[in-house]
Amino acid sequence: MLRFFPQKNKYIQEEGEFEFSQEGPVPKHIAVIMDGNGRWAQNRRLPRVAGHKEGMETVKKITKHASKLGVKVLTLYAFSTENWKRPTEEVDFLMQLPVDFFDAFVPELVKENVRIHVMGYKEFLPAHTQDAVARAIEQTKDNTGMVLNFALNYGSRAEIVSAVKEVYQEVLETGGDGDMIDEAMISKHLMTGFLPEELRDPELLIRTSGEERISNFLLWQIAYSELFFTDALWPDFNEELLEISIASFQNRDRRFGGLKNKEENK
């Protein structure tokens, strides 16, 4: 856990301090649970929505920096299928955010060669949100750089149920049986299935605000992801903290169930 130490005015990784290396591997796909907007606002005696607005500014900063560092896919959890339970005023605000974000930021995203994608049950979003999403996807569709993938009205268990239904349909239509179902087939039918196979699963998952849970996000896709938790609230997350998260990733020993030294696996 990356914790803030007020005496030092510094975030310190409890497991040790790591240096970010430009030469070291940068995760190809980073997923983020952007948590802590409400607390950020409450700490300043502001309404919760002020935290979401500031959180949107962090999204801009982190998108640009991730793209600069060579990340190929940045998946951001912007609204979960459970978030409808929040007060109407807050839900309305969260549904307006993508409209404001895309309207203001798409020209810059085009300049940065970033392509927008939105995964989730879009059909349940209000019309103005759906229109803004469709516009942003269209305006950035020819960009060949980083994919900025928003999870909007997304829930991982619902996603898995939808994928299973599609797989079942495919089996019926091709006259096959259960034996034709494998991991690759399921992965293709998940909402990350639009990505090339090698980019579908995040290598690094970051969660801000000190909570250490997954909250129904990418349950299948994070099977081998490195997890990084920080107590920074999302509006306080910045370029330096992104680099610290990546530095931590660079210092992990990724084994995928094998042994430490690749030679030992032979």
> To the nearest whole angstrom, how small is the minimum distance from the Cβ of residue 205 to ligand FPP?
15
Q: State how far the Cα of 266 lies from the Cα of 255, in Å rounded to an integer.
A: 13
Note whether 132 binds ligand FPP by CB under 6 A: no
Q: Count Cβ atoms within 10 A of the Cβ of residue 112 and give its class: 0-12 exposed, 13-18 middle, 19 or more buried.
A: middle
Binding window for ligand FPP (CB under 6 A); candidates: 93-101, 172-180, 183-191, 197-205: 93-101
| Token couple for 6 | 């007020």
Note whether 114 binds ligand FPP by CB under 6 A: no
* Cβ nearer to ligand FPP, comparing 18 with 98: 98
Does residue 241 contact residue 232 with C-beta atoms inside 8 Å? yes
Any idea which residues carry the catalytic annotation? 35, 83
Note whether 56 binds ligand FPP by CB under 6 A: yes
Q: Count Cβ atoms within 10 A of the Cβ of residue 162 and give its class: 0-12 exposed, 13-18 middle, 19 or more buried.
A: middle
> To the nearest whole angstrom, how small is the minimum distance from the Cβ of residue 36 to ligand FPP?
4
Note whether 153 binds ligand FPP by CB under 6 A: no
> To the nearest whole angstrom, how small is the minimum distance from the Cβ of residue 234 to ligand FPP?
5
Q: Is 24 helix (H, G, I), strand (E, B) or coil?
A: coil
In this structure, the chain runs to a length of: 266
Binding window for ligand FPP (CB under 6 A); candidates: 19-27, 90-98, 113-121, 138-146: 90-98
**Which amino acid type is present at position 129?**
T
* Cβ nearer to ligand FPP, comparing 61 with 252: 61
Note whether 37 binds ligand FPP by CB under 6 A: yes
Strand partners, 11: 4
CA distances from 104 to 47, 53, 169 (A): 23, 13, 41
- Using CB under 6 A as the binding criterion, the count of chain residues that bind ligand FPP stands at 19
Note whether 97 binds ligand FPP by CB under 6 A: yes
Which residue among 35, 201, 203, 243 contacts ligand FPP (CB under 6 A)?
Answer: 35
> To the nearest whole angstrom, how small is the minimum distance from the Cβ of residue 223 to ligand FPP?
24
Q: What is the DSSP string of 99-145?
A: HHHHHHHHHHHHHTT-EEEEES-GGGS-HHHHHHHHHHHHHTTT--S
Note whether 93 binds ligand FPP by CB under 6 A: no
How many other C-beta atoms lie within 10 A of the C-beta of residue 209? 22
> To the nearest whole angstrom, how small is the minimum distance from the Cβ of residue 63 to ligand FPP?
9
Angle subtended at Cα 121 by Cα 120 and Cα 127, rounded to the nearest 5 degrees: 115
Binding window for ligand FPP (CB under 6 A); candidates: 36-44, 164-172, 185-193, 219-227: 36-44
Tell me which residues touch ligand FPP (CB under 6 A): 34-39, 52, 55-56, 59, 78, 83, 94, 97-98, 101, 150, 209, 234
